[in-house]
Amino acid sequence: MAKSTKAGDSQTELFSNDSEFLEADRRATTRQIRQDSMVAQHNDLVRARYDMSLLESRLFVCLLGRIDRKDKDFVLCRIPVSELYPDEKVGGKSYSQVREAVVRLAGRVIHVETRDEQGKREIVSNPLMATCRYKEGSGYLIAQFNNFVKPYLLELQGNFTVAEIQTLLGFRSFYSYRLYWLLKSSAFHHDTIKLELAALKKTLNLEERYQNFADFKRFVLDIAKHELSITDMAFEYKQVKEGRAVSSLLFYLLRPAVITQDEIKLPEGTQQILTEIGISLKSLNEIKLRFQQEKLSEDYLRFVIKYYQEAKKTGRIKSSAGAIYKA
């Protein structure tokens, strides 16, 4: 019999006998990671409170990378174990490591906090995964997201953040991974990002750990600063104190020197497309400036254009120009 735990209406399957695994394997798709190497999350999920191991976060990214923009439902996917070790050989310890990651990820609960139109806060907690299976010797996992996260991962129409898969899989610390997403979710509109220390620790699920700020600095902030230094979210940070205690952090995103907008060239074909769909000159200049400052990558720009062009064709939005600018 399979070992399982129930959470609400979803059943999280951890391990299975041969017949159960074969049945799941029969239903699973061999869909590969997206060719454009980009993944997207709604910002409410980016800022949700949860914890993971590094291997769990890689499994999450690999499953995220198999979502198609046209998907209306999640599909059961096969994920090669080798994808979880991009810079390492899959050795003898991999089974126990993957087994632990499967067990933990299958039980992870995501806490999403939002506000309604009256400004009242609402907290929703649900399991991240619908199913997660691994059989020793198979060489791959079988996994599927819980329907709870459909509004945060499928048919996104705004207020989302896009990142490159290879950047995400390159992190060696889960907290670097989380800080990258958090900073990127605000980077389009701000070069300086202020995060309250208590809120940041809550988001990272570290409320009970690193009570001494020096430890938080050493094991979270400084490691993230080092790892993000080779990404588009490189930063310096400053402590803001109330009395003698650190109350918040100012993150200064490192950007190259600004040049005049006339000198900035967008990737081939994109400026013409943006003009044809009705982007105003002012908005176009801002997009060009942010592209030059590396707040927008070429892959991200092409992804957003294609995504909203398809959304307009299917009637999900009325104006692709406004949606592209806001994204």
Could you state, in order of their start, the residue ranges of all structural domains in the chain? 3-170, 176-253, 261-326
pLDDT in tens, 271-298: 767 766 667 666 777 777 777 777 778 7
pLDDT in tens, 74-106: 999 999 998 998 877 776 677 788 889 999 999
Asked if pLDDT for residue 122 goes beyond 70, the answer is yes
The answer to pTM > 0.75 is no
* Residue 326 confidence (pLDDT): 61
3-state secondary structure at position 266: coil
CA 58 and chain centroid, separation: 10
For domain 176-253, the question of CATH label 3.90.550.10 is answered with: no
Q: How far is CA 38 from CA 62, 125, 166, 276, in A?
A: 11, 27, 9, 25
Rounded distance between C-alpha atoms, residue 128 and residue 118, angstroms = 28
β partners of residue 238? 250
Rounded distance between C-alpha atoms, residue 84 and residue 135, angstroms = 15
Arithmetic mean of pLDDT over the chain: 82
Asked if pLDDT for residue 108 goes beyond 70, the answer is yes
Same CATH fold assignment for domains 3-170 and 176-253: yes
Q: How far is CA 101 from CA 111, 139, 261, in A?
A: 19, 15, 47
Rounded distance between C-alpha atoms, residue 278 and residue 255, angstroms = 29
Rounded distance between C-alpha atoms, residue 141 and residue 139, angstroms = 7
CA 11 and chain centroid, separation: 24
Q: How far is CA 91 from CA 81, 88, 104, 220, in A?
A: 11, 9, 21, 28
Higher pLDDT, 285 or 135: 135
Range 215-244 average pLDDT: 95
For domain 3-170, the question of CATH label 2.60.40.10 is answered with: no
